[in-house]
Amino acid sequence: TKTASKSAIKITQAQAKDQGNGQLFKWVAWFTGSKNAMKGFGFFLGGLLLETLGFQGSLWAMSGMLALVLIGVVTSLPPMMGKSKPSGSAKELFAKNAGINALAAARVALFGARDVWFVVGVPVFLYSVGWTFTMVGGFLAAWTIGYGLVQALAPQLVRRSADGLSREVPAARWWSAVLTLIPLGIAAALWLQAPQLQWWVVGGLSLFGFAFAINSSVHSYLVLAYAGSEKAAEDVGFYYAANALGRFMGTLLSGLLYQWGGLLYALLGSALMLLLCWLTTLRLPLGLLEHTTPSEKTGTP
């Protein structure tokens, strides 16, 4: 659903040619940010539904709401919107342009760097220092909602260019570099056993969420800027498959690193992944000709 929705944004922007890349960035940022803010709200809503309706009742309530969404989609969207011929082989599927491939690799590292502390490390650490389940869940929910709101505001914080790449690509590199320093700073506080350590962690991860949200929003824009409108859904799907791979790796490493060395190891793992993310963004092309595939340049099938 997410892949299809973001692909629809690309198709809609291509049809509204007078809107330009600036409008595409705004649409992508608003869509991505609002989606993640609602994801955070879901932490609260899930607890409320379990408390009032129980598990089985909550499932029926969610099924009913999704049925309403389905009716809206079926009745309002154009039929077969964006349908195109898929790639015929795995080799063709992976033969994306340089921009898509570099972004996919950066996405693996970026989301791995988040989940390596978010899934196990920080929740277990906060519980170990005396936080209740409700407090831990509330922090994660607030973090996710705030992250979504910052994503939606990203176009106000990143200078845009007429060609849609010359300023946006350096912004992706800059925010990746900034993000790398934050878990290193928190790890240093842990190593030195700073006073009120839990608040160093909470404050540092709040800064992490701000920089991560802008970084993620810029990435989400760039994948559509690089994607060809004919196979936008496949390009975006390839990119989100990389996103899922990063989350899998981050989730696995979150438990392993916390077992081996506590939150300190999880944060160092996050910093290493972010360094890889920054190095990968150095490969992002700055112009259209740089990221166009040979067939797109010549017009050959």
Mean pLDDT confidence for 80-94: 62
Mean pLDDT confidence for 262-278: 96
The enclosing domain of 47 has a CATH number of 1.20.1250
pLDDT tens-digit readout, 189-208: 999 988 888 999 999 999 99
Mean pLDDT confidence for 240-261: 94
pLDDT confidence of residue 256: 96
Domain assignment present for residue 92? The answer is yes
Domain assignment present for residue 112? The answer is yes
pLDDT confidence of residue 16: 58
Structural domain range at position 174: 2-293
Does residue 300 carry a pLDDT above 50?
no
Domain assignment present for residue 301? The answer is no
Q: What is the tally of structural domains in the chain? A: 1
Mean pLDDT confidence for 265-283: 96
pTM for the structure as a whole: 0.76
What mean pLDDT is reported for the chain? 83
Domain assignment present for residue 59? The answer is yes
pLDDT confidence of residue 1: 76
Does residue 17 carry a pLDDT above 60?
no
Domain assignment present for residue 300? The answer is no
Measured distance CA(62)–CA(174) in Å, rounded: 40
pLDDT category, 297, cuts 50, 70, 90?
A: very low
Domain assignment present for residue 299? The answer is no
pLDDT tens-digit readout, 127-182: 899 888 778 878 888 898 888 888 888 888 888 888 888 899 999 999 999 999 99
Longest dimension (CA), the chain: 64
The residues near 54 (Cβ < 8 Å, ≥ 6 apart) are none
